[in-house]
Amino acid sequence: MNVECPTCKKSVEWTETNPFRPFCSERCKLIDLGAWANEEYRVPAENVSPDDLDQIDEATRH
């Protein structure tokens, strides 16, 4: 099966022998990692109020 490299869009064979999958190369893998580190990508989330954080803290305290 072939997939598209998320970084360069090159067609990549999805096999166990590809150590960089879903990327085509270590370079594309590191470019993606750098984008996460620079906060270019974000996971959507709702803002949490300080009161909610206090409730979570109290509920998870051991």
Q: In this predicted model, what pLDDT tens digit does every residue of 15-39 receive, in sequence order?
A: 999 999 999 999 999 999 999 999 9
pLDDT at 57: 86
What is the CATH number that goes with domain 2-60? 3.30.50.10
* 8 is known to lie in a ligand binding site: yes
Q: What is the pLDDT of residues 37-60, one digit of tens each?
A: 999 998 888 888 888 888 888 888
56 marked as binding residue: no
Q: Are 23 and 32 in contact (CB under 8 A)?
A: yes
Hey, where are the domains in the chain?
A: 2-60
Q: For residue 13, how far is the Cα from the chain centroid?
A: 21
Are the beta carbons of 52 and 58 closer than 8 angstroms?
no
Tell whether 9 is in a known binding site.
no
State the pLDDT at residue 45.
Answer: 84
Looking at the chain, the whole-number percentage of residues with pLDDT higher than 90 is 66
